[in-house]
Amino acid sequence: MPTFQFSKLPRAIALALPALSMLCSQALAQSTNTLPPVTVNANKTKTAPVPSPEVVSPASLAGGLSATSDTASLLRDVPGLSLYGAGGVSSLPAIHGLADDRLRIKVDGMDLIASCPNHMNPALSYIDPTSVGALQVYAGIAPVSTGGDSIGGTIVAESRPPVFAAPGVGSITQGEIGAFYRSNNQASGANVAATYATEAFSISYRGSTAKADNYSAGADFKNYDFTGRVGHTLARDEVGSTAYETTNHLLALAYRNDRHLFEAKLGVQDMPFQLYPSQRMDMLDNQQNSINLRYLGEFDWGQVEARVYHEKVDHFMDFGADKRYWYGGSTTNGVVVGSGGATALNGIPCSPISMTCAAGMPMYTEGKTTGASVRADIALSPQNLLRVGGELQKYRINDWWTPSGGGMWPGTFWNINDGQRDRTAAYAEWEARRSDQWLTLLGARVEQVKMDAGTVRGYNTAATAMGFQARDAANFNALDHNTTDNNFDLTAMARYTASPSYEIEFGYAHKVRSPNVYERFPWSTWQMAALMNNFVGDGNGYIGNPDLKPESANTLSATFDWHGADRSWGFKATPYVTQVSNYIDAQQWNATTNAPATVLATNKFSVLRYVNQSARLYGVDLSGYLPLAKTSMGDFGLKGLLNYTHGGNQDTGDGLYNIMPLNAKLIVTQKTGAWDNSLELVGVKAKTDVSTMRNEVKTPGYGLVNLRTSYTWKQVRVDFGIENLFDKFYYLPTGGIYTGQGTTMSNPALPNYPQWGTAVPGMGRSVYVGLNVKF
């Protein structure tokens, strides 16, 4: 692929600031005479709820299907939201610097939990982009009815709703088929859907598959090409361990009778592999099965929704194609001829497994989640709505590593044995229309989280076993692992509508989150074992802490919203600040003394233990849209987005890990007939505020240009685009550290890999095309 020179590429940040200012100034100068549209809620109150979620538009959802197989990436244009890089279909969304389990992510009403020490199977990875019917984000402040066990906000993903035949029609059938291709990583995939429905009954199936090779960066980013396997090398611009393959199935049945709806959804995921450029291991199998039952009833006084669900996940990790599978000495006719150093780098299989020969590092995780919820929306009066509800969740997890030789021998290592995390919650919130100008929301939630775990053991139970396995297991087993956290949430918000073109939404939230199982229960200080417990992709090892307290966050936020009465233009500014007590950060740990390190490791990987500290995050989100001109060439418009977040540890003065630097996006749109085109300019400032405790790597700023176009004709839609048009080389600010190839379990490695200081690069230029046909 040829390389284009574009040395004068402007910084998108510099363009974004005046452009967003122009959005605001021009927007305030415009006016219309039409009334704004209203949203009709289930409670028949003719006003949008407070707080208002950020809704990903149907046009954005449709436009993203050919460009990505990662559902989380459909959220890229949501103000205040960024993504932690991970596997190709498993990015972790972050809201205002708070990510992963600090967010509540609901998929078809289910609270799903990542059952993996590296969080390789997060909730959004279980719904394919082609199955998404709606995406909503509550950034920062979420109502208690959608929040809980989180401090950073809520993401709600829903699959396509059921379709029924119109009265008197009898029955209907409809379907959909689509396919895509992306050039950079040779990604391809297909999706199919079919529905049969009568006036009362509906059955539908949706299936999708996607597969991709490693992607290439815009330039060489390493001076080596070895992988630790004989005959297998990677090009120096190839980002190792970024390939994936996945298949998803969803069968949905629905029955309605008058104002009552019953739904049953059966989901199956088969993921043969998903490789990880920022983890030392790869996902080599992930099987998920879920059943989700829902009842929705409309009554004269309001609405009731009830749900019961169950999910089972079987997860397997080991070294993927780009990482060395065989450790220890190589063999000739069954005789060990080398036990380390350069000889062992050839990766030739050795047998039988022993203290001088290891065959990979198999790791197994089994997770089971059972949940139930009920919610009632009660119209107390035309101006007052009461929401009440309750939730139950039961989670069980086992995480064990079978022996494979070397130090991983002769028995099974139990990372988490019979892990338990059970939640019960109840909430109530009151939404009141106090006047034509004032709408208020007040809610409270009480929640109890109970956690426990069984006894553990290392590979080797001898007192002399490497890595202090016997000592650490004995220390952990001597503890009482049972904990009970009683948490309380509060949300108070108001919206003031000053005029048809201006409103302010502001509020306060107190949110509490209990630690997850991988923050409390991993017990081994052994560097090898600790390296396996890492869900942030920084290359370090992590040790759990059973004494962790729940995180408690207090957030103040306001949104200033200027818009046309017909919503043809708009500008929003959202400043916020969040103070977190008992923030779960980390400190470097000395395995020998089993105490905090007195001398910190710098410019290299280390082992850390989770600890409670204090943190503060603050920032501002700016977004806007504006029509530019109507010409013979079509309608032109402008969209803009700018996000700034700062996060600091107040106990240490250190920066918080993986905070997205100042970033902006400008989009020029053009619509004419069936064509919908856009030019995107993305800019990201250099990341200089980092976590020194984690030895986080700084990244330079960059600017990217993307082109997108689509053509819709009757039931056919064609998408075409070029991402990173000028093949710009850049590093992902929140993509983690590169450990995508070679002898990833050596620290430091032989000869010098993984090299601390190499961030994961972003993808170079990629052309994509997609076709979707409905019938």
d(CA 96, CA 98): 6
Q: Which of 333-342, 348-357, 358-367, 481-490 has the lowest mean pLDDT?
A: 333-342
Mean pLDDT of 753-775: 91
Q: Is a pLDDT exceeding 50 seen at residue 289?
A: yes
- Chain-wide mean pLDDT for the chain? 91
Closest CA to 673 of 722, 625, 720, 714: 714
Q: Is it the case that residue 29 has pLDDT exceeding 90?
A: no
- What length does the chain have? 775
Q: Please name the helix (run of DSSP H) or strand (run of DSSP E) that holds residue 343, with its range, or none.
A: helix 341-344
Query: CA-to-CA distance for 137 and 56, rounded, in angstroms?
Result: 8
How far, in Å, CA of 374 to CA of 426, rounded? 10
CA–CA distance, 257 with 201 (Å, rounded to integer): 9
Strands (DSSP E) found in 42-131: 54-55, 81-84, 92-95, 98-99, 104-107, 110-111
pLDDT at 46: 47
Instruction: Tell me: pLDDT of 333 over 70.
Output: no
Q: Is the pLDDT of residue 358 over 90?
A: no
Task: Tell me the mean pLDDT in the region 333-361.
Answer: 64
- Reading phi first (left if > 0) and then psi (alpha if -120 to 50, else beta), residue 476 is in alpha
Higher pLDDT, 160 or 45: 160
Given a cut of 60, whether residue 571 has pLDDT beyond it is yes
DSSP state of 470: H
Quickly state the pLDDT bin for 63 (edges 50, 70, 90): very high
pLDDT at 647 over 60: yes
Q: Tell me what pLDDT residue 351 has.
A: 76
What percent of the chain lies above the pLDDT cut of 90?
84
Of 10, 759, 746, 747, nearest to 345 by C-alpha is: 746
Residue with tokens 């982009």, as numbered in its chain: 129
Tens of pLDDT, residue by residue over 228-269, are 887 899 999 999 999 999 999 999 999 999 999 999 999 999
pLDDT attached to residue 51: 86
- For residue 753, name the pLDDT band (cuts at 50, 70, 90): low
Query: For the segment 422-448, what is each residue's pLDDT rounded down to a tens digit?
Result: 999 999 999 999 999 999 999 999 999
40-44, 116-120, 612-616 — which is least confidently predicted?
40-44
Rounded Cα distance, 622 and 644, in Å: 9
**pLDDT-derived band of residue 35, with 50, 70 and 90 as boundaries?**
very low
- E strand or H helix at 473: helix 469-477
Written as six digits, the tokens of 535 are 């869900």
Question: Which of 442, 441, 439, 440 lies closest to 497, judged by CA?
Answer: 439
CA distance 119 to 106: 16
The closest of 100, 187, 120, 54 to 584, measured between CA atoms, is 100
Bridge partners, 375 (sequence order) = 305, 389
DSSP β-ladder status, 541-543 and 607-631: parallel
Q: Please report which confidence band the pLDDT of residue 304 belongs to, taking 50, 70 and 90 as the band edges.
A: very high
Other CB atoms within 10 Å distance of the CB of residue 198: 14
For residue 628, the Cα-to-chain-centroid distance in whole angstroms is 34
Q: What is the dihedral of CA 194, 198, 203, 208, to 10 degrees?
A: 20
